[in-house]
Chains A and B, each alone.
Chain A
Amino acid sequence: MIVNNRCFNVCFIFRPFRVPILTGCHSSIPLWWASLCDKKILNQPLEKPDFFRVAELFSLKDLFDARVHLGHKKGCRHRLMEPYLYGCRLDHDIIDLDQTMEHLQLALNFTAHIAYRGGIILFVSRRRQFGHLVETTAKDCGEYAHTRYWQGGLLTNANIQYGPGVRLPDLIIFLSTLNNVFQQHVGIRDAAKMNIPTVGVVDSNCNPSLVTYPVPGNDDTPAAVELYCRLFKMTINRAKDRRKQMELLHGLSADARERRHV
């Protein structure tokens, strides 16, 4: 069950991971201690609302300077985006940055938790202007990107497309939910079909309904997209570093971790 809530202090419920946590642990550590450490590592971030302190990464001024509040013209407005808009000035829609702040904090927090648990994150954007930037961001985080033509069965027909036994992404981040013909990206619908949570930057002409963690904001300006890429990269790196620290802290050495994955 995925809960999409606006209130910041409530705990989240994730979809169950397919990553086996304890498989063939042949280390000298007793199994009960290893399982206890694992539970501690996994449950500790859930105790605090903002364990990774993602709220410190950006401020409202940063969003404003990056022109995140600029939407499209009134004629392009999507009906379901009306709650997220602050207003309209000379036919240009202005997105409410207070709401954007909340949504972005939720989204970054969720991404951080996914990255902490070793989930696969896929960055998707069909804008040619930012394709290279998105791919470099994904490479720097150690995650995956797809900024090319989306073949039909990539998620829904994965066993035939990639080979049997493939692991699908655990989170998909859309830096632009539209494709090149201004229709909703197929990936949103496919992710919803495959029970994969999505984080999406929705502009004033996009449909936010199927996106799990929508982030109302501008997806056309280079400054805004660079800001998003920077924020996601920082959260993911932070979460991964935190995970390494926690593992060292709870007495599990590196080779025990590898044996755990084998």
Chain B
Amino acid sequence: NLAAAGPEKFTLEYIQKQVEEYEIGKRHLANMMGEDSENFTQEDIDLFDFIYLFFLLKQICFYFQHPDEIFPKQRAVQWGADGRPFHFLFYTGKQSYYSLMHDLYGKILKIEKHQDRLRAKGLFSQDAQLISLGPSRWLTKEELELLLVETISTHDYDRFIKLMERMLAMPYSSTEEEFVQRYRRQLEAQSMKQMMPPLEKDENGVAFSTAEGRRKTSDSSVILRDCGSGHITINGQDYLQYFPVLQDREQLMFPLQFMGVLGRFNLECTVSGGGRSSQAGALRLAISRALLSFLSEGDGEAMRQAGLLTPDPRVRERKKPGQEGARRKFTWKKR
């Protein structure tokens, strides 16, 4: 139903004009920066800051991107000058979706014919050549709508998925693998391995590693050096001076004490933001992460089990209107 999407917001001429202006602006920018205007790509433009662009181009440009990425995809007019529609399923209303179903069913029939021919020759085997799809998922309904440039209902989407599954369940469906892969997306392989910081060596041959940690609004960065002494420096100061409270120093030492490497490492830390407790927590996380590169797999797993490697997700909850605090309500009066 085309009318449900509203009238065509941007005419073809308007979008073409925008594309021309974009190209001119791109060349202008390239000439100003002294770069090669022919090979100036979108990646080079993305490096520019919004404010820098404002001063350069003397006008506010919120999106310096190709118009195809800004304006939503629309349908061009579906019929020719004599009124005859281009697509043979135009009169169904959902031509792309139904033509997809038509093609899919055609492929199923082709596979069945292939199976019949093999059966006639006596070469049919039940367990042959199922498609291997790997870690992937079907396209979501929204992605399919984007692909087809038309809206479909949940019912239609379910039917499409069922038909695809039916085709995949047939033997000898590996001939249509390329067609099926077009409608699947790869899942990001979820690795169980911890991301450990790399082990580097400085000029004196001392091994060190760097890691970062966050807690509430504090950010910290720690450089762990395998020296043999147990010096700890935070923001240039000694740790006893920076954290006068025992609790904070305990938080700092806990990862080293847990692994039993208390006197081995030198810590050079920087921390900013938050209060004293959150800074201590950020430092603890950073130290644990930096320690991973010096330890074995089993020790790393032990740290993970102890909860040293999990960033604390708790942040301050906002105050809501009509309440005194985040959770506390105003005093309830019966009358």
Whether A161 lies near B1 (C-beta < 8 A) is yes
Given the complex of chains A and B, what is the CA–CA distance between A136 and B102 in angstroms?
9
Q: Does B72 contact A (CB under 8 A)?
A: no
Q: CB within 8 A of B105: which of A18, A120, A132, A144?
A: A132
Given the complex of chains A and B, what is the CA–CA distance between A13 and B78 in angstroms?
31
For B332, list chain A residues within 8 Å (CB): none
Whether B88 lies near A145 (C-beta < 8 A) is yes
Given the complex of chains A and B, what is the CA–CA distance between A151 and B1 in angstroms?
10
Interface 9-residue window, one of B37-45, B89-97, B184-192, B256-264: B89-97
Whether B90 lies near A161 (C-beta < 8 A) is no
Interface 9-residue window, one of B79-87, B224-232, B271-279, B315-323: B79-87
Q: Does B183 contact A (CB under 8 A)?
A: no
Q: Known contacts A132-B105, A160-B3: does B83 contact A19 (CB below 8 Å)? A: yes
Whether B79 lies near A166 (C-beta < 8 A) is yes
Chain A residue at minimum C-beta to C-beta distance from B87: A144
Whether B89 lies near A145 (C-beta < 8 A) is yes
Q: Mark A63-76, 1 if CB is under 8 A from B, else 0.
A: 00000000000000
Given the complex of chains A and B, what is the CA–CA distance between A132 and B88 in angstroms?
13
Q: Does A15 contact B (CB under 8 A)?
A: no
Q: Does B2 contact A (CB under 8 A)?
A: yes
For A142, list chain B residues within 8 Å (CB): 88
Give the interface size class of chain A: 20 to 34
Task: Count residues on chain B whose CB falls below 8 Å from chain A CBs.
Answer: 23
Give, as a whole number of angstroms, the nearest-CB distance from A153 to chain B.
9
Whether B2 lies near A163 (C-beta < 8 A) is yes
Q: Does B64 contact A (CB under 8 A)?
A: no
Q: Mark A247-262, 1 if CB is under 8 A from B, else 0.
A: 0000000000000011
- For the complex, would chain A's binding face be called helix, strand, loop or mixed by DSSP majority? loop
Whether B82 lies near A139 (C-beta < 8 A) is no
Q: Mark A165-207, 1 if CB is under 8 A from B, else 0.
A: 0110100000000000000000000000000000000000000
Whether A162 lies near B81 (C-beta < 8 A) is no
Give, as a whole number of angstroms, the nearest-CB distance from A132 to chain B.
5
Q: CB within 8 A of A144: which of B83, B88, B93?
A: B88
Q: CB within 8 A of A148: which of B78, B82, B98, B109?
A: B98
For B82, list chain A residues within 8 Å (CB): 19, 118, 261
Whether B91 lies near A144 (C-beta < 8 A) is yes
Q: Does B106 contact A (CB under 8 A)?
A: yes
Q: CB within 8 A of A163: which of B78, B84, B98?
A: B78
Given the complex of chains A and B, what is the CA–CA distance between A146 and B90 in angstroms?
8
Given the complex of chains A and B, what is the CA–CA distance between A241 and B106 in angstroms?
28
CB contacts under 8 Å to B, within A11-54, are: 18-19
Whether B84 lies near A154 (C-beta < 8 A) is no
Given the complex of chains A and B, what is the CA–CA distance between A169 and B78 in angstroms?
15
Whether A122 lies near B91 (C-beta < 8 A) is yes
Q: Known contacts A146-B91, A167-B79: does B3 contact A161 (CB below 8 Å)? A: yes
Whether B88 lies near A143 (C-beta < 8 A) is yes
Q: Does A135 contact B (CB under 8 A)?
A: yes
A-B contact pairs, 7 of them (CB 8 A): A122-B91, A142-B88, A144-B89, A161-B1, A162-B93, A163-B77, A166-B79
Residues of B within 8 A of A (CB): 1-3, 77-79, 81-85, 88-94, 98, 102, 105-106, 109
